[in-house]
Structure 1
Amino acid sequence: MSESLLPAVAPADGVADEFRAMMRGFPTGVAVVTAFDETGSPWGMTCSSICSVTLDPPTLLLCARAGSPTLAAMRGRGAFAVNLLHERARDTAALFASGDPGRFDRVQWGTGGAGPHLKVDAHAIADCVIARPPVEAGDHVVVFGAIDQVALVTGEPPLLYGHRQYRAWSGAA
């Protein structure tokens, strides 16, 4: 059972919509988080809720929708990969955000240490193991990943997301 970060307090009317609008204006990098389930099937989701936690030991966190099948696969195996997308990978970001059940048939991927690696679409990939029990936070779950290894795949600029649009880093200036 995971602990909860949030108190059971209802926000004022309209605050959730205002918060969503506020966060749309906060551009961030884009990743596809991947994992294998207990049968070896690949799962993946687009995620922009990722941040570093500490360098000693190297740890990141990500937030996933509580009902996500990718989250279930991550929990089942205790491991996942974070594929940081480069600016030419907009279609891959949209595909993995869509929930299309055939998404792995439509991209090139290889078996990584902790989850599928999207080497054609990622500028960097981190293999992670779940470092502590996931923490419930409303309708999402916070997962802490201890970094097992990192592959710096290309020197291409990262893909950004904000105002419900994908943007190239090189075009952001």
Structure 2
Amino acid sequence: MDNKIESFKSVMGNYPTGVTVVTAFNEQNEPMGLTVNSFASVSLDPLLILWSIDKNAGSYEDFLKVERFSVNILASDQGDICQLFASRVADRFAQCEWEKSELSLPVLKDSLATLQCKVHQKVEAGDHTIMIGEVVDIQNNEKDPLLYHKRTFGQIPKTFYPQS
């Protein structure tokens, strides 16, 4: 592999992020989801977020067809959920607790927070597509987040200092 690509992966892997599982229903009304750490806020007016999906992901074509999705921001005790939705297990939803929300989206239970979104825009970007969603519902359980860093995940250390 190209040295620049390896260097890029090393740099980006050293940038800590939170972990989410993005979920939706496919055209057959079956729940689908995948672990995503490429997640960010975009705008306050309107409320917009983004996440990106690899064009090689097994659910890529299905996610391109959805009009709504949920971003389940994982709590520090949900490492098993992170691994489950990053795996190639066929029926992930049979192995976790979830429910169909009032907005008819699959939502994982006990997450730090859930943002239910309608698709605002899709942007082609290299080997990924950026999905921009308008947030239509927010559930905040005010838990500690799951952190992803150097291909591992865990809790944020309690040694952070408050801003002055």
Q: 1:80, 1:114 within 8 Å by CA — same for their partners in 2? A: no
Look up the match of 1:50: 39
Q: Tell me the CA shift for residue 29 of structure 1.
A: 0.3
1:115 maps to which of 105, 108, 120: 105
1:95/1:103 contact within 8 Å kept: yes
Alpha-carbon shift at residue 75 of structure 1 (Å): 2.6
What amino acid maps onto 1:48 in structure 2? N
Alignment size in residue pairs: 159
Q: Quote the residue 1:145 is aligned against.
A: 133
The answer for unaligned runs of 5 or more in structure 1 is: 1-12
TM-score (normalizing by structure 1): 0.86
Alignment of 1:59-138 (within 5 A): 59-112=48-101, 113=103, 115-120=105-110, 122-132=111-121, 134-138=122-126
What residue number does 1:24 align with? 13
**Aligned counterpart, 1:160:** 147
1:8 corresponding residue in structure 2: none
For structure 2, the residue ranges without an aligned partner over 5 or more in a row are: none
TM-score by length of 2: 0.90
Deviations 1:132-171 (A, max 9, x none): 2x1111111111101111111x221000001111011245
| Distance in 2 (alpha carbons) for counterparts of 1:31 and 1:172 | 23
| Two-structure CA RMSD over aligned residues (Å) | 1.7
| In structure 2, distance between residues paired with 1:77 and 1:47 | 17
Note if contact 1:34-1:43 (Cα within 8 Å) is conserved in structure 2: yes
